[in-house]
Every structure is written in structure tokens, then in C-alpha cells.
Structure 1
Amino acid sequence: MVAQAGGGSIAVGRQRFLADAAARGLEVQLVERLAAKSLEEAAGILGITPAEIVKSLVVKHKDGSFLFALIPGDRQISWPKLRNLLGVNKLSLPPADVALEATGYERGTITPLGSTTAWPVYADAAIAGRRISMGAGEHGYSAFVDADALTSALGAVVADISDPT
């Protein structure tokens, strides 16, 4: 399936997302949605709570490699917890252009599924056992997926890596 975006260009990010999900046997529901100015607005548009939206954060190691941290929308990444889990003393969120280069996705569309490089995935334990929404590789789209199936398909490490906002 070749999806068309505005102006007739191929929606490559969404295609990569869907192809990777299919290759992993992961069932996803793609939903076209209006642009949102905030997480709360996005949750309202999708008819869910902010906790059900999972942010896919690109995290940079001091050594230059990256990882994905999947964090519920109502929580924030806990740097001390993540550093402790990884046994490192420095991690950071890279600038948008670096995240794009590392994943092939723009901020707001980032997902581990279909990333141009398959970086390790760390998922916050708070997403376990629920249906979540996440980026789908293209602005204007969200994907719904079972969090446990997602973490299993990605071989993600599931741990407590977030704090309340």
C-alpha cells in the first residue's frame, strides 16, 4: 500500500511504520487526526486520556548511540532511573535534527517501529497492560496498539523509568 500525503508525495514515514509493524506481526490501528497544540488536546481529539498517549523519546548516549524511551503522556522521563538502569552517568535528549537523523522521523511522529536504525527500546512499566496511542511516522496520524504486544515485538526492556509530571 502506498499512502499519499499532501501534494502527492509518498508518506514514507507512515509506510515504514506500517511495514515494520506488519513484519513483526503487530496489530496496529492507524487513525488520521487533526493537529493538536498540546498532549491534552491530542488526547481529547483521540477520545483517550493523556496517560494513554505514549511519547517515543530519542535518548542519546554519551558514546553517540541512541535508544528509545517510551513514556506515558502524563509522566516524564526519570533521568536518574534510566541512567541507573543503563549503568551510565550521562544521557540527553538530542536536538530535533539529530533525532531525525537517528530515526528518520520528525519530532511529533517518532516511533521505534520503522526507525531507520533499530535502536534499543526501554518502555516505562506504567504502559503495561493497556491499549496505547503513539506516533505513526507522519504528522496527522496516530496509531493504537496493545502495549504488551508492542514491547514484546520490539524486545523492549520494561522498567520504571518515569516520574509523575
Structure 2
Amino acid sequence: MSDAGRVMDGAERFEADAVSRGLDVEIVEHLEAQSLPEPAELLSIEPGDIVKSLVVKRHDGNFLFALIPGGRQISWPELRAVVGVNKLRISDDGMALDATGYQCGVTPIGSTTAWPVVADERIVGRRIAVGAGTGGRVAFVDADALVAAYDATVTDISAEETHH
């Protein structure tokens, strides 16, 4: 039976896109961790090395990825200034799925649409862990290579996480 008509799953899309962009990614299977410090501990890395790829919706209906290091959250005033748009909001799971084709393990790598990427400057110069397009896996990648591969804007777009 031919594979030609088959749609690639998230993991396959992730790997194909990484290869096409010359990104050297190391995929690590990990247990379903419940909180950020947990995967950091399991992977023996700092929480700040785990980078969340947050899907942000613009008022015009387009999206962008905000890459935010663990322990930090989006600084909305900073992100609005960078993007030059006043109305931005974090997408819910359904919107993220529509925007990227990913149910979980959301990442710019292998996204069904190559939305613009804005990376927090704190990730530069580090080996970071990002979503790998599916649950239970993370991918290690050089942050500078990721920024270059997606022509990302690098600036200060995060603030310390506040716990309510």
C-alpha cells in the first residue's frame, strides 16, 4: 500500500521540517510530566532551558509563536510593541490545533503554517528543550540555530511568572 496519500502525523512533520531546515534536533521520550520543574528534573536541565512555544492570535486572525523560557510568562506590553499590534491573545487548545496542526507538543518546527516566531532573548546561546509535535517527547535544539532557521525576532518579551 502506498504512503503517498497518507497525512504525516505530528512527530513525522516535526522531523521532516527539522531536516529540511538543517536543524539538528535530539528527540527525547519523557514521561508525561505534570509541571515544568518535573520534566526539567527528568531531563537534568534548568527549568529555563525548557522553552514553551505559545501560540498567540492577532486581531487580524493570524497567529505567531512566542518562545518563552520556563519560569517566565509573556510580557504582553513588550510583545504588543514588538508585533506592532494592540490586540493579541493566547490561543486555546482548539485554536492552537487549527493554527499549527499540533494537539500537544506545540512548536514552530513542523507547524502546518509557518507563523512568525518571536523569541525571548533569554533563550539565546542555550541548548533548549522544545515541544516535539506530540505528547511525551521533547526535542533538544540549539536556540541560535532555531532562531536562524525561522528568522525569529529576538527581544525581551517575557516577565517572571506570577503565581496567583
**Partner AA of 1:82 in structure 2:** L
Point out 4+ residue stretches in structure 1 off by more than 4 angstroms: none
* Pick aligned residue for 1:113 from 109, 115, 121: 109
CA distance in 2, matches of 1:113, 1:27: 12
Q: Structure 2 matches for 1:6-85, cutoff 5 A?
A: 12-85=9-82
* Contact 1:59/1:66 (<8 A) preserved: yes
- Describe the SS at the equivalent of 2:140: strand
Number of matched residues?
155
Alpha-carbon displacement from aligned partner over 1:45-98 (angstroms, at most 9, x marks no partner) = 111111000000000000100000000012111000000111111100122111
User: 8 Å contact 1:11–1:138 — kept in the other structure?
Assistant: no
Q: SS at 1:44's partner residue? A: helix
> Equivalents in 2 of 1:95, 1:135: separation in Å?
16
Q: Quote the residue 2:156 is aligned against.
A: 160
Q: Which residue of 2 aligns with 1:94?
A: 91
Scaled by the length of structure 2, what TM-score is found? 0.92
AA aligned opposite 2:19:
A
Q: Structure 2 CA distance, aligned partners of 1:86 and 1:101?
A: 21
**CA drift at 1:16:** 0.5
Which amino acid letter does the alignment assign opposite residue 30 of structure 2?
R
Counterpart of 1:141 (choices 137, 141, 147) is: 137
How far is 1:164 from its partner? 1.4
Per-residue CA deviation, residues 18-48 of structure 1 (Å, 9 max, x unaligned), is: 1100000010000011110100111111111
In 2: Cα distance, 1:155 partner to 1:86 partner: 14
The structure with the greater share of residues assigned to helix is 1
Task: Answer yes or no: is the 8 Å Cα contact 1:135–1:141 preserved in 2.
Answer: yes
1:11 Cα deviation from its structure 2 partner: 7.3
What stretches of structure 1 of length at least 5 have no aligned partner?
A: 1-9
Measure the CA separation in 1 of the matches of 2:123 and 2:92.
Answer: 26
